[in-house]
C-alpha cells in the first residue's frame, strides 16, 4: 500500500521481471491436509472447494514490504522480452521506492523464503502475517542464480511453517497459490501444473515449473501448494505481453528451493557441486559421429586439469549419459544435477566410451567462485544454414590451422572460425592438412554418415559434426575443405 492509502500502481516492463510478492508464511509443515479430505474428481464431475486447504496453510504465508533505492531503467537487449517480473512498486521521496512481494515461513523460528529480486537492495524489510502483525526482518542469505532469498523475522515468536514436497508434481496436478497480488494480501488462486523443466533464460539453473494459476504483480516469492499442503514451487515470473496474468506462470521447483534454503541457513550462501568438465549437448549430428542410435547425454570436450573429472579418468570424447541413475537431457541439466550435490559427496556418472558403458565414481568439489555459468550457445545446435562453407587449412602445432573461412557468419554457425585448429577427424588425431584429407577419405570408405572433428579455439576445445556426404576437398587446393548443404549439392541438382 502507498502512503496515501492507495494500492501501488503496477509498472509494466516488457522483460523478465520476477513477481515481487509479499512473503506469506506457509504453515504447511505444521498443517498437512489429508489427501482424502480434499476433492479429487474432475471439476466437471463434482463441486471443487479448496477452503479446508486454504484454512490450514494460509497462516504460514506472509506479505513482504521493502524500501529500496530505485534501480536505473535497463538499457538495450531486453525491451521485447515478454517474460515479466511482478513487482508492486510505489514511488517515495527522492529515489526511494516501496516495493512489495510475498513469501512463506520455512521454519518455526522465523526464517522465510522469498524471491531475491523482492529484497535485493532493500534498506528495510517488513513482513505482515495473516493475523495482522507486522515485523521487521533482515536478509539471512541470498542466491541470485535461482532468484531466491532467505529472510529472518526479528522476533522470538514461533510461527507455523510450510514444508517442501518430496516429489515433483505431475503435469495436470492441482496447485494452489497464495500471495499479495496487486497489494491484496492473502489472495488465493488455483490452477494446474502445465509443464516441467522450463528454461526462460533468466539464470544458469533455470528449471521452472509452469503453472496456469493466475499470478500477478505482488506474487513474487509466494508459494504454490499441492493438495497435501506441501510447497511444490515458488512463484517467480510470468509470460505476459501485457504485464498481467495470461495463465503462463513459472515457479522455482521445491527441490531447488529446499537445497538453496539448506545452504543459506547453514552457511549463509549456496555451495554448489562441480566436477570440472567442458561439455556440449549431444545433437543428432554428434550422435551419428559417435556411432550412437540416438542423441542422449552430454559430450565431454575436455576435462579441467586436476579436477575431480580428470582425476577420475574422464576423457575428451566421453559421453555422460546419467548422473546417479538420472538420465541427462542436455548441458544445463548436467550442471543443475551436479550443482545440487553437496561438495564432498560422491557422484556416479555413467560414461559411454568407444561403444562401451561404464560407471565412474568421483567426489564432487565445490564450484570455484571464479567460474561463471554461461548459456549454452553451441553452434552445432543452430539451423538455417546457407549453401557452403570453405575452410583453408595450413600446418600447425598438433593439428591443422584454419587460416580463413568463407562465409564467416555461416562458418560461425557451424562452430568454426579463422584461427581455430583442427585436432582430430573421426576420432583420429591429425597433424597437418594432408591428414585431414586422408581421414575424410577413410571415413567415406568406411560408410560413415557424419564426420566428427575436434577443434581448439583459444583455450577451449569442443567437438563439431558435419554430414560426411556434404564435406569434400576442393580439387584445386588440397588445403581447403568445402562443405555444402542439400540446397547446393556438389554436382548441382533440380531447381
Segments making up each domain of the chain, as ranges: 1-269, 273-366, 379-484
> Does domain 1-269 correspond to CATH entry 2.40.10.120?
yes
What the block records as the C-alpha cell of 163 is 514444508
The CATH number of the structural domain formed by 379-484 is 2.30.42.10
**Residue 97: pLDDT above 60?**
yes
**Residue 7: pLDDT above 90?**
no
What are the pLDDT digits (tens) for 246-297? 889 999 999 999 999 999 999 888 999 999 999 999 988 888 888 888 888 9
Tell me the pLDDT band of 441, cut-offs 50, 70 and 90.
Answer: confident
Beta bridge pairs of residue 139: 151
So what's the pLDDT on residue 132? 94
So what's the pLDDT on residue 347? 95
So what's the pLDDT on residue 408? 61
Tell me the pLDDT band of 82, cut-offs 50, 70 and 90.
Answer: very low
What b/e sequence results for 431-447 when a residue is b if at least 16 CB atoms lie within 10 Å of its CB, and e otherwise? ebbebbbebbeebeeee
Catalytic status, residue 117: yes
What are the pLDDT digits (tens) for 23-70? 333 233 334 333 444 444 455 435 579 999 999 999 999 999 999 876
So what's the pLDDT on residue 478? 43
What value does the mean pLDDT of the chain take? 78
Tell me the pLDDT band of 469, cut-offs 50, 70 and 90.
Answer: low
> How would DSSP label each residue in 294-315?
S--SEEEEEEPTTSHHHHTT--
Percent of the chain residues topping a pLDDT of 90:
46
So what's the pLDDT on residue 174? 97
Q: How far is CA 395 from the centre of its chain?
A: 41
How far is the C-alpha of 200 from the C-alpha of 203, rounded, in Å?
Answer: 8
Higher pLDDT, 368 or 88: 368
CA angle centred on 478, ends 473 and 483, rounded to 5°: 25
Higher pLDDT, 403 or 59: 59
Considering 220, 236, 245, 378, which one is annotated as catalytic?
220
Considering 60, 147, 207, 212, which one is annotated as catalytic?
147
Report the CATH superfamily, name and number, of domain 273-366.
PDZ domain (2.30.42.10)
Q: Which residue has the cell 586422408?
A: 438
Q: Can 273-366 and 379-484 be said to share one CATH topology?
A: yes
| CB-based contact 410:389 (threshold 8 Å) | yes
**Residue 83: pLDDT above 80?**
no
Considering 87, 117, 251, 420, which one is annotated as catalytic?
117
Tell me the pLDDT band of 405, cut-offs 50, 70 and 90.
Answer: low
What are the pLDDT digits (tens) for 175-231? 999 999 998 999 999 999 999 989 888 788 889 999 999 999 899 999 999 999 999
> How would DSSP label each residue in 28-60?
GGT----GGGS--S-TTTS----HHHHHHHGGG
| Average pLDDT of the segment spanning 431-452 | 79
In 3D, which of 24, 1, 53, 13 has the Cα closest to residue 234? 24
How far is the C-alpha of 141 from the C-alpha of 113, rounded, in Å?
Answer: 10
| Average pLDDT of the segment spanning 316-324 | 94
Catalytic status, residue 307: no
**Residue 394: pLDDT above 70?**
yes
Beta bridge pairs of residue 62: 103
**Residue 449: pLDDT above 50?**
yes
So what's the pLDDT on residue 191? 96
Percent of the chain residues topping a pLDDT of 70:
72
What b/e sequence results for 399-428 when a residue is b if at least 16 CB atoms lie within 10 Å of its CB, and e otherwise? bbbbeebeeeebbebbbbbeebbbbbbbbe
| Average pLDDT of the segment spanning 110-130 | 94
How far is the C-alpha of 307 from the C-alpha of 325, rounded, in Å?
Answer: 22
In 3D, which of 192, 55, 74, 72 has the Cα closest to residue 130? 55
Amino acid at each position: 500500500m502507498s502512503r496515501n492509502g492507495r494500492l501501488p500502481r503496477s509498472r509494466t516492463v516488457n522483460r523478465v521481471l520476477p513477481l515481487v510478492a509479499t512473503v506469506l508464511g506457509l504453515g504447511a509443515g505444521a498443517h498437512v491436509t489429508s489427501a482424502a479430505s480434499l476433492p479429487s474428481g474432475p471439476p466437471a464431475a463434482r463441486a471443487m472447494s479448496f477452503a479446508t486447504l486454504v484454512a490450514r496453510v494460509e497462516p504460514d504465508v506472509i506479505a513482504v514490504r521493502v524500501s529500496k533505492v530505485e534501480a536505473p531503467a535497463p538499457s538495450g537487449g531486453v525491451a521485447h522480452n515478454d517474460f515479466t517480473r511482478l513487482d508492486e512498486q510505489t514511488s517515495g521521496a527522492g529515489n526511494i521506492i516501496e516495493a512489495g512481494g510475498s513469501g512463506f515461513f520455512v521454519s518455526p523460528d522465523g526464517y522465510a523464503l522469498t524471491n531475491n529480486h523482492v529484497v535485493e537492495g532493500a534498506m528495510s524489510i517488513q513482513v505482515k502475517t495473516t493475523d495482522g502483525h507486522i515485523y521487521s526482518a533482515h536478509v539471512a542469505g541470498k542466491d541470485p542464480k535461482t532468484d531466491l532469498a532467505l529472510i529472518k523475522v526479528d522476533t522470538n515468536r514461533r510461527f507455523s511453517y510450510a514444508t517442501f514436497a518430496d516429489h515433483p508434481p505431475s503435469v495436470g496436478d492441482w496447485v494452489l497459490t497464495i500471495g499479495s497480488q496487486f497489494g491484496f494480501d492473502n489472495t488465493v488462486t488455483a490452477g494446474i501444473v502445465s509443464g516441467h523443466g522450463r528454461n526462460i533464460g533468466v539464470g544458469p539453473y533455470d528449471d521452472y515449473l509452469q503453472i496456469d494459476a493466475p499470478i500477478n504483480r505482488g506474487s513474487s516469492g509466494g508459494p504454490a501448494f499441492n493438495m497435501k499442503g506441501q510447497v511444490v514451487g515458488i512463484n517467480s515470473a510470468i509470460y505476459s505481453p501485457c504485464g498481467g496474468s495470461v495463465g503462463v506462470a513459472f515457479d522455482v521447483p521445491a527441490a531447488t528451493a529446499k537445497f538453496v534454503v539448506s545452504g543459506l541457513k547453514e552457511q549463509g550462501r549456496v555451495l554448489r557441486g562441480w566436477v570440472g568438465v567442458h561439455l556440449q549437448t549431444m545433437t543428432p549430428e554428434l550422435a551419428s559421429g559417435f556411432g550412437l542410435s540416438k542423441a542422449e547425454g552430454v559430450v565431454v570436450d575436455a576435462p579441467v586439469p586436476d579436477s575431480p573429472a580428470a582425476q577420475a579418468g574422464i576423457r575428451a570424447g566421453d559421453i555422460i549419459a546419467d548422473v546417479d541413475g538420472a538420465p541427462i537431457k542436455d548441458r544445463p541439466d548436467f550442471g543443475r544435477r551436479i550443482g545440487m550435490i553437496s561438495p564432498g559427496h560422491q557422484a556416479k556418472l555413467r560414461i559411454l566410451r568407444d561403444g562401451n558403458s561404464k560407471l565412474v565414481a568421483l567426489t564432487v568439489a565445490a564450484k570455484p567462485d571464479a567460474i561463471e555459468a554461461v548459456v549454452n550457445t553451441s553452434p552445432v545446435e543452430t539451423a538455417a544454414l546457407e549453401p557452403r562453407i570453405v575452410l583453408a587449412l595450413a600446418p600447425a602445432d598438433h593439428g591443422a590451422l584454419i587460416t580463413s573461412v568463407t562465409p564467416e557468419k555461416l562458418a560461425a554457425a557451424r562452430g568454426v572460425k579463422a584461427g581455430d585448429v583442427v585436432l582430430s577427424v573421426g576420432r583420429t588425431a591429425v597433424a597437418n592438412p594432408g591428414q585431414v584429407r586422408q581421414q575424410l577419405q577413410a571415413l567415406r570408405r568406411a560408410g560413415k554418415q557424419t564426420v566428427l572433428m575436434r577443434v581448439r579455439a583459444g583455450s577451449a576445445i569442443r567437438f563439431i559434426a558435419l554430414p560426411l556426404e556434404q564435406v569434400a576437398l576442393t580439387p584445386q587446393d588440397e588445403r581447403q575443405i568445402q562443405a555444402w548443404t542439400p540446397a547446393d549439392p556438389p554436382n548441382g541438382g533440380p531447381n
